Chains A and B, each alone.
Chain A
Amino acid sequence: MSKAIGSPNAGIPENAFILERKPKRRFTMFEAGALGFLFLLVAVWTAFPMLWMIGASLKTNVAISNDPLSLWPARSTLEHYRYVWTQVPFARYIVNTFWVSLIVTAAKLGTSVLAAYAFSFYRFRGREVLFYALLLTAFVPFTATMIPNYLLVARLGLLSSVLGVALPQLADGLGIFLLRQAFRSVPLSFYEAARMERVGPLRILWHVLLPLVRPSLAALAILFFINTWNEYFWPFLILKEKSSYTLPIALQMFTNLEGGTNWGAMMAASTLTSLLPLLAYALAQRQIIETFLHSGVKG
């Protein structure tokens, strides 16, 4: 496309079928270069800590303290990974984190789908008020609900359990909002046509509506999953037993070891912790971006 700079239709044959739209102003070479440089800077800025984390996890502890700024070790070693895997019940933490994330994701998706379905396709008194009230919950800071939630979970006897971590987050205002936006893009006549065919409400949802909002569902699932996976403070409050730790809490174990922090092990554990969310995001990146673009919300 670099040929097109300066002329909006350069390179397009005269008789080509062109949709009528205002010609977009192209960037000049200088602007494009400057912008590219800026993006590169932001990318490096964002990626640097991660690259450093992976690099450090492969260095010996001596190398880390001697040459902390180098990104990649001269001689890489897997000793930290071996250490993490054998010295702490890391597999156990992965399983814990996975379960919490799975339960929360499934529950949030389920409640969001049902609520958004009602808010989009059913007419009832107080619908808009109720909807915005639910959306508002997405903006209540965690610190405001932390203590009531903690007391509730404690009274229910769920401290130090996966369920205790999951319970307060089984529904999500933002999820309801995003799915309602997705359902709104589905013409009402799809729903009505199915109704005229005597299809029940849950089957309409399953056979007609959900397949049409699948990208949004996938994006939400991954967002919910990653958020829960990375969550630190709430599980930290609830989980008392070491055996019930999730990965983010387990990480702090390496900072408090006697004789200072074991940086190598810490970085190896961090790398392992971020592996799954990174993979999930990479797989669904396009759908996540599309969902936010189409909902009018910036990610």
Chain B
Amino acid sequence: MSRTKSAGEIDRRGEIRLENVGKRYGSVTAVEGLTFTVEPGERAVLLGPSGGGKTTTLRLIAGLESVDTGTVYLGGRPANDVDPGLRDIAMVFQNYALYPHMTVWENITFGLRMQRVPRTVIETRAREALRLLDLEGLEDRLPRALSGGQRQRVALARAIVKRAPIVLMDEPLSNLDARLRVKARSEIVRLQEKLRFTLVYVTHDQTEAMTIGTRIAVLAGGRLKQYGTPKDVYERPANLFVAGFIGTPPMNLIHARVEGETLRFEERPEVSVSLPTAIASALAERRGRSVVVGIRPERIQFAPFAGTEAALRDREPDGPWTVRIPVDLRFVEDVGRERYVYAAWGRTEVGGVVPAGGIEVTSRMLLMFSWRDVHFFDPKSGENLGLSWTGNVLQSV
């Protein structure tokens, strides 16, 4: 604990590995079959809807809950039976858990004092933490005399004075207003980059997850839906759940049927589009069966319905790979910088994001997208069929 560590050095003890970890509460399965590794110095975000098992996973790592099945390894060692106090983990709680009867200084130094760390060491570490988190001058305040943002920073300061190789945070920004939250999340990243601890961060806010995480674990129903970089989960969602959960507005998921070299949309049977040869052959074994076509709203463009072929071609996003489908607009939402455009798609809608003022919105338009931006999913298993594009080459992954 008291060994000194120069800033920027990554501590190997910060590795977290979960192997087939499960936890039940009575008849309710909280998490099941969790397997993933957080490398030392990484920022892993546990993201998912409430009840998905994020907080349970965090508490299993902390040792505040006991593991029913599987093994949690910390720094390469099995830790299932290690007391939370001996795991060398610091934690920031959702409600900060600042002791109301202790001043900021007493709160920050409490753990170290209880460990009988030498006073000079406590002094140095606490001073540094106060400086890093811009809390100097507030040492003698009680938590109730602090603003929400200050309390949150005191909680962070208390976590970092411990110099633990692993820091866990359970929705630490959920009690802040939107503006403070943006500031606080960059502060957390800055702090982690300076001190290089392994961070495991729980949130249900995908913007927070994308901006903080170097890796994101999407959890739902107690299971790991995908574990990858923010780019991965956004650009290569592993399944329909991740595809629908990540991104605002969410990815359009359109049911269609593979008919030879063409695709017929189930909600709009009058529309069928021909598939590029590469895709048609990749989908060959699915002929006569359904697929789910996923396309991000920001990859959809709209063009005036009427126009010359030449003018249209100029606006085609991807030359011959472009799909063009006539649609009726249903409604438009202005969100300042951009505009969400929703077109009727049978009984449902297909949404696109366009720059505000970028196009003139008329009731009938052409919806355009490139085959390169399309994901194909199996409608039953929900799995991504794994057709992804690198340059101009179709790859099966």
Give the interface of A toward B (CB within 8 A).
187, 189-190, 192-199, 203, 207-208, 211-212
Contacts and interface: CB of A to CB of B under 8 A. Distances in A.
B97 A189 contact: yes
Given A189-B93, A192-B64, A192-B93, A197 B99 contact: no
Interface in B150-171: 162
B97 A198 contact: no
Contact of B114 (A190, A192, A199, A211): A199
B93 A198 contact: no
A196 B161 CA distance: 13
Given A189-B95, A212-B101, A196 B110 contact: no
A251 to B, nearest CB: 42
B100 interface: yes
B114 A203 contact: yes
A276 to B, nearest CB: 30
Contacts, number: 55
A199 B93 contact: no
Q: Which of B89, B90, B101 lies at the interface centre, i.e. has the most chain A CB atoms within 10 A of its CB?
A: B101
A192 B89 CA distance: 12
A211 B85 contact: no
B62 interface: yes
B67 interface: no
A195 B62 CA distance: 10
B306 interface: no
A203 B97 CA distance: 17
Given A189-B97, A193-B93, A196-B87, 5 more contacts: A195-B85, A196-B90, A199-B85, A211-B101, A212-B99
19 contacts: A192-B91, A194-B111, A196-B84, A196-B89, A197-B110, A197-B114, A197-B115, A198-B85, A198-B114, A199-B85, A199-B114, A203-B114, A207-B110, A207-B114, A208-B99, A211-B99, A212-B99, A212-B100, A212-B101
B86 interface: yes
Contacts of B91: 192-193, 196
Pairs A-B, 7 closest by C-beta atoms? A198-B85, A197-B111, A189-B97, A193-B97, A189-B93, A211-B101, A199-B114
Contacts of B97: 187, 189-190, 192-193
Interface residues of B, number: 22
Interface string B94-114: 110101110000000011001
Interface of B: 62, 64, 83-87, 89-91, 93-95, 97, 99-101, 110-111, 114-115, 162
Given A187-B97, A189-B93, A207-B110, A197 B64 contact: no
Contacts of A189: 93-95, 97
A198 B114 CA distance: 8
A3 B64 CA distance: 55
Nearest to A195: B84
Contacts of A207: 110, 114
Nearest to A193: B97
Contacts of A190: 97, 99
B115 A198 contact: yes
A198 B62 CA distance: 12
A282 B85 CA distance: 44
Contacts of B84: 192, 195-196
Contacts of B85: 195-199
A192 B95 CA distance: 12
Q: Which of A193, A195, A208, A211 lies at the interface centre, i.e. has the most chain B CB atoms within 10 A of its CB?
A: A193
A203 B64 CA distance: 18
B86 A198 contact: yes
Contacts of B100: 212
A195 B86 CA distance: 9
Contacts of B111: 194, 197-199
Given A189-B95, A203-B114, A207-B114, A196 B101 contact: no
Contacts of A208: 99
A212 B102 CA distance: 10
Nearest to B85: A198
A194 B99 CA distance: 10
B207 to A, nearest CB: 25
A120 to B, nearest CB: 16
